[in-house]
Structure 1
Amino acid sequence: MVTRSRGARRVISSRSAPAALAAGLLAILVALPLGIGGTGDAQAIPARTADQLLIRYKQLGIDAEKTAESMHNAQIEYDKQRRLVVTSRRAAATAQRSLDQSQVQLDLYQGRVDSIVRASYRGARINGLYAVLVSDSPQSLLDQMSGLDMIARQAARDLTNLKQARKRAASAKVDAERAATTATEAVSRVERVRGNLQTKRANMQLQAIQIRAVYKSMTGKQLAELQGPKFTFDPRLVPRGTSLPLIAVQAALTRIGDPYVWGATGPNSFDCSGLMVWAYKQAGKTLPRSSEAQLASGRAIDRNNLEPGDLIIYYPGATHVGMYVGDGYVIHASTFGVPVKVVPIDEAGPYNAARRY
């Protein structure tokens, strides 16, 4: 159950205001267009006042996190397609070897059958009547008949084997062609996904440059408001135990104060899903890399039944994630300029769903 206790308290953080930057530079920074891949919400707000600049910065951060998580999804798909390429190429090589072996057997049986046909064409006598005519004694007749019977049985086996070899060769040829086509298509897919991934990485770099520029233009008051209230969480509220979720929570709490960095998975900087991956890695469990993939995995948990270690997914598009630590609080890496921190569940964003691993 999600509960509140006196173990967590709210303390407003304060920061001294840095020296103000030149007015001309600030005007240029606030006039920057919204980052590529953004929602466009911040663009509708002319960032001319200090409050508007802060609003715009927060929206830029949300948009950048969407791009970052989308980039992680593209990386997951790229890795998946690369594995398919390897698997497909191996299957194609195996199918080709099978075809080659079938062709060798086909040639062997075809040669045996052809030799019998050629012998008959040249007038060789291999039937029972011929054995009776040429035999000069009962024993000779038995020997002749036995030999002819063996030849006939071998010829029948060769014909049967030839038919089977032809069937196997035809099937192997179809398999080899299908496997080769699959491998070719897999290569094409992975190239397309790689192009998409490279585009997202480029967009992320552009957004990061813009966000850092706007961040540097903000005053101490704006930075303090950006970081928001500071909530202290007593780690003793986390139940004792050696289960994977509890180990993950304990690991995550050691990273409070570490900086937010897009694409980082620790050990000293994180993005939102990267913090979840790192924390569970300390418990020996591998989590999917993106918040969307983390939503798609694990077991769905009702909000009223949250336990420490559960992942809470935020926003309709599952673009942010935090870890429930107990007492109604979640630890998360929120945005550039705001370190890893513990906040009330709803302070981390619009609640979407929860997953247990």
Structure 2
Amino acid sequence: MGRGKRGLLAAAVTVVCAVTVLAVPGTAFASVPAAPAEPSPRTTPRTPAPATPAPAPVPDRELEKVRAELDSLYHDAAVATDAYNAAEEKVRKQSAQLAALHKRTDAARQELADLKNQAGAAARAQYRDNGLPPMARFLLTDNPERFADGAGTLLNGARATKKLIAETDRLERELQRDTDDAAARWKKLERDRKDKAAAQKTVRERIKDAEKLESRLQKQEMERLAELERRAAHRAQTAWLDSGVLKKARDSASAGGARAVAFATAQLGKPYVWGAEGPDSFDCSGLTSQAWADAGTVIPRTSQEQWKHLRHVDVTKMRPGDLVIYFADATHVGMYVGDGKIIHAPRPGRTVTVTGAGTMPILGVVRPDA
């Protein structure tokens, strides 16, 4: 600090002290020369650090692009999830069929071995009879009674031998057919396992890409993104309801539909996990298939197969328990619960929830208990 500034500060301190003395009653006045004083280090002014400028907020139009990209990534993950579930179902069926084939071929091999043992026993008996076949011994007999007994024995033996040969041939053909079938099914099982692994890899990659995209957003931007999503869903649901689509819809469910809705309702809040069928987590078709299984009706595992094999009903006539299939490729499904709403497992990072049935593009409606 320069001398001029120190002098001014000293003079100011002197004035303050003098005023204080004068202000206290009973204090004698005396002229005291002011001594120059150095300022306290506490009073030394400090230059504030420059504030870090806040990042510029992302415009809504840019967040809309992010939302569209996220929707695309999660849709790709849903497509791969359906492919994974389909391959998993095929692997399960192929494995069960192979196990049944192996069990059947093992039984056939045992039966074939028993037949060959019987044939061997017959050959050994012939050897014990001096190597003469039954026909020769029958023709050489000179006893009428033995002739009659021999004729019956010969006929029965011939029938037994013929049956033994026919049964052996049949078993050998069946065994060969089952062995070939098992080999073909094994090859198909290996293809299904590769398809399942490829789909699994795609699901993980798409989800990872989506999570990476979301991680670049600030907390406020994530909140705004969620608000944009809510607004878009509200607009879509309002437009769908305004179309009058629910004028003929029924809010009364069948007995099976009521049980399926009750099951789905009990899962609210559980996390979405791709490929999951409960009890602690679900994907979209895992939830609907398990809900109807609980109601006593077995339906296909994937949303695409549900759309393909279950009876279609007009969306205006849907009732609680019906399944609403979404997107042109049938890659999402929810369960209609009445009042224009569905219960569904939305996507990774979300939980089983209730939402408007018209918040996503509807492909159609199917009824498991038609």
State TM-score, norm by structure 1.
0.71
Asked if 1:221 is matched to 2:234, the reply is: no
Q: Which runs of 5+ in 2 are unaligned?
A: 1-52, 238-248
CA contact (8 A) 1:64 1:207 kept: yes
CA contact (8 A) 2:343 2:355 kept: yes
User: 1:83 Cα shift?
Assistant: 0.9
After superposition, give the CA deviation of every residue in 1:260-306 in whole Å (9 maximum; x if it has no partner): 33233345543211221343355455543211232244433222321
Classify the secondary structure of the residue corresponding to 1:49.
helix
Query: 1:155/1:268 Cα in 2 relative to 1: closer, same or farther (>3 Å)?
Result: closer
User: 1:77 Cα shift?
Assistant: 0.7
CA–CA distance in structure 2, aligned partners of residues 205 and 291 of structure 1: 20
1:85-234 maps to which residues of 2 (within 5 A)?
Answer: 85-112=98-125, 118-119=131-132, 127=140, 131=142, 144-218=143-217, 219=221, 220-228=223-231, 229=233
**Equivalence for 1:134:** none
Letter in 2 for 1:65: A
**Equivalence for 2:70:** 57
Query: 1:256/1:125 Cα in 2 relative to 1: closer, same or farther (>3 Å)?
Result: closer
After superposition, give the CA deviation of every residue in 1:67-101 in whole Å (9 maximum; x if it has no partner): 11111111111101111101111121122122222
Classify the secondary structure of the residue corresponding to 2:358.
helix
Q: Which runs of 5+ in 1 are unaligned?
A: 1-19, 24-47, 132-143, 232-236
CA contact (8 A) 1:322 1:332 kept: yes
1:1-357 maps to which residues of 2 (within 5 A)?
Answer: 49-112=62-125, 118-119=131-132, 127=140, 131=142, 144-218=143-217, 219=221, 220-228=223-231, 229=233, 243-267=255-279, 269-283=281-295, 285-357=297-369
CA–CA distance in structure 2, aligned partners of residues 267 and 116 of structure 1: 71
CA–CA distance in structure 2, aligned partners of residues 21 and 250 of structure 1: 49
Classify the secondary structure of the residue corresponding to 1:164.
helix
Q: Which has the higher contact order (CA 8 A, sep 6+)?
A: 1
CA–CA distance in structure 1, aligned partners of residues 155 and 293 of structure 2: 65
Query: 1:186/1:106 Cα in 2 relative to 1: closer, same or farther (>3 Å)?
Result: same
Query: 1:125/1:296 Cα in 2 relative to 1: closer, same or farther (>3 Å)?
Result: closer
CA contact (8 A) 1:245 1:308 kept: yes
- Report the RMSD for the aligned CA atoms in angstroms: 3.4
Letter in 2 for 1:222: L
After superposition, give the CA deviation of every residue in 1:152-198 in whole Å (9 maximum; x if it has no partner): 43234323322221122112111111112222222222122112212
After superposition, give the CA deviation of every residue in 1:25-69 in whole Å (9 maximum; x if it has no partner): xxxxxxxxxxxxxxxxxxxxxxx9332222111111111111111
Aligned length: 295
CA–CA distance in structure 1, aligned partners of residues 225 and 202 of structure 2: 26
Classify the secondary structure of the residue corresponding to 1:307.
coil
CA contact (8 A) 1:297 1:355 kept: no
CA–CA distance in structure 2, aligned partners of residues 201 and 100 of structure 1: 45
**Equivalence for 1:11:** none
- Greater shift, 84-93 or 163-172, is seen at 163-172
CA–CA distance in structure 2, aligned partners of residues 352 and 50 of structure 1: 30
